[in-house]
Chains A and B, each alone.
Chain A
Amino acid sequence: MKIVVCVKQVPDTAAQVVVENGQVSWGDAPLVINPWDEYAVEAALQKAGDHGGSVTVISMGKENETEALKHALAMGCNEAILVSDPALGSSDNVAAARVLAAAIRNVGDVDLAFFGKQAVDSDTGTLPGMVARILGWPALTLVSAISVLSAEAIKVERAIEEGRQVVESKLPVVVSVTKDYGEPRYPSFMGIRKAARAEIPIWDLGQLGIEAPAPVISWPEMMNPPRREVTTEIIAGDSPQDIAAKLADKIMAEKVL
Chain B
Amino acid sequence: MTNKIWVYIDQFEGQALPSSWEGIGVGLSLAETLGGGVTALVFGQGVEGVARQAFHYGAGEVLLADDATLADYRSEPYTALIAKLAAGRVPEIILFPTTTRGRELAGMSAVDLNSGVLVDVIALEVQDGRVLATRPIYAGKLLAKVQCSAKPQIVTLRGRAFAKPEADESRAGVLTKVEAAMAEADITVKVVDYTTSEVGVSLTDAAVIVSGGRGVSNNPKLEPPADLSDGEKEVWRARKGFELVGGLAEALGAAVGASRAAVDAGYVPYSHQVGQTGKVVSPDLYVACGISGAIQHLAGMRTSKVIVAINKDPDAPVFKLARFGVVGDLFDILPHLTVALRERLGK
Residues of A within 8 A of B (CB): 11, 13-14, 16-19, 24, 35-36, 92-94, 97, 120-127, 129-130, 132-134, 138-142, 155, 159-170, 178-180, 215-225, 228, 230-236, 240-241, 243-245, 247-252, 254, 256-257
Contact call B119/A124, Cβ cutoff below 8 A: yes
Number of B interface residues in the complex (CB < 8 A): 100
B261: which A residues are within 8 A, CB to CB?
Answer: none
Q: What is the bound-complex CA distance between A69 and B319, given in angstroms?
A: 38
Q: When A167-B192, A233-B324 are in contact, do A17 and B144 touch as well, CB less than 8 Å? A: no
Q: What is the bound-complex CA distance between A245 and B335, given in angstroms?
A: 11
Contact call B270/A180, Cβ cutoff below 8 A: yes
Residue from A19, A120, A236, A254 in contact with B276 in the complex, judged by beta carbons closer than 8 Å = A120
Contact call A162/B117, Cβ cutoff below 8 A: no
Q: What's the dominant secondary structure at chain B's contact region?
A: mixed
Contact call B144/A221, Cβ cutoff below 8 A: yes
Contact call B328/A240, Cβ cutoff below 8 A: yes
Shortest CB-to-CB span from B276 to chain A, Å, is: 5
Contact call B325/A232, Cβ cutoff below 8 A: yes
Q: When A121-B138, A139-B108, A160-B100 are in contact, do A230 and B270 touch as well, CB less than 8 Å? A: no
B284: which A residues are within 8 A, CB to CB?
Answer: 256-257
B142: which A residues are within 8 A, CB to CB?
Answer: 17-19, 24, 222-225
Q: What is the bound-complex CA distance between A40 and B330, given in angstroms?
A: 37
Residue from A18, A165, A245 in contact with B191 in the complex, judged by beta carbons closer than 8 Å = A165
Interface membership of B124, Cβ < 8 A: no
Residue from A133, A161, A216, A225 in contact with B202 in the complex, judged by beta carbons closer than 8 Å = A161
Residue from B101, B118, B325 in contact with A233 in the complex, judged by beta carbons closer than 8 Å = B325
Contact call B147/A217, Cβ cutoff below 8 A: yes
Contact call B194/A165, Cβ cutoff below 8 A: yes
Interface membership of B332, Cβ < 8 A: yes
Q: What is the bound-complex CA distance between A169 and B139, given in angstroms?
A: 33
Contact call A166/B111, Cβ cutoff below 8 A: no
Residue from B208, B295, B321, B324 in contact with A235 in the complex, judged by beta carbons closer than 8 Å = B324
Q: What's the dominant secondary structure at chain A's contact region?
A: mixed
Contact call B271/A94, Cβ cutoff below 8 A: no
Q: When A166-B194, A180-B269 are in contact, do A251 and B285 touch as well, CB less than 8 Å? A: yes
Within 300-347 of B, Cβ neighbours of A (below 8 Å) are at 302-303, 305-308, 314, 319-329, 332-333, 336-337, 339-341, 343-345
Contact call B323/A216, Cβ cutoff below 8 A: no
Contact call A217/B107, Cβ cutoff below 8 A: no
Shortest CB-to-CB span from A93 to chain B, Å, is: 7
A215: which B residues are within 8 A, CB to CB?
Answer: 116
Q: What is the bound-complex CA distance between A180 and B266, given in angstroms?
A: 11
Contact call A94/B116, Cβ cutoff below 8 A: yes
**0/1 interface trace, chain B 82-116, chain A, CB 8 Å (1 if under):** 00000000000000000111011111101110011
Shortest CB-to-CB span from A163 to chain B, Å, is: 4
Q: Which of B138, B148, B319 has the most CB of A within 10 A?
A: B138
Contact call B322/A240, Cβ cutoff below 8 A: no
List the 8 closest A-B pairs by CB distance, nearest first.
A126-B107, A244-B336, A163-B197, A248-B340, A240-B332, A256-B284, A166-B193, A216-B150
Contact call B137/A93, Cβ cutoff below 8 A: no
Select from chain B the residue with minimum beta-carbon distance to A119: B137
Contact call B100/A161, Cβ cutoff below 8 A: yes
Shortest CB-to-CB span from B75 to chain A, Å, is: 5
Interface membership of B172, Cβ < 8 A: no
Q: What is the bound-complex CA distance between A12 and B115, given in angstroms?
A: 31
Contact call A240/B324, Cβ cutoff below 8 A: no
Contact call B103/A220, Cβ cutoff below 8 A: no
Contact call A139/B208, Cβ cutoff below 8 A: no
Select from chain B the residue with minimum beta-carbon distance to A217: B116
A159: which B residues are within 8 A, CB to CB?
Answer: 100, 270-271
Contact call B144/A219, Cβ cutoff below 8 A: yes
A-B contact pairs, 24 of them (CB 8 A): A13-B139, A13-B299, A93-B117, A126-B110, A141-B75, A162-B194, A163-B196, A164-B195, A165-B193, A167-B189, A167-B190, A216-B150, A217-B149, A220-B147, A223-B142, A224-B143, A232-B319, A233-B325, A234-B314, A234-B324, A234-B327, A235-B326, A244-B337, A245-B340
A178: which B residues are within 8 A, CB to CB?
Answer: 270
Select from chain B the residue with minimum beta-carbon distance to A252: B344
Interface membership of B146, Cβ < 8 A: yes
Contact call B138/A228, Cβ cutoff below 8 A: no
Q: What is the bound-complex CA distance between A121 and B255, given in angstroms?
A: 27
A139: which B residues are within 8 A, CB to CB?
Answer: 75, 104, 108
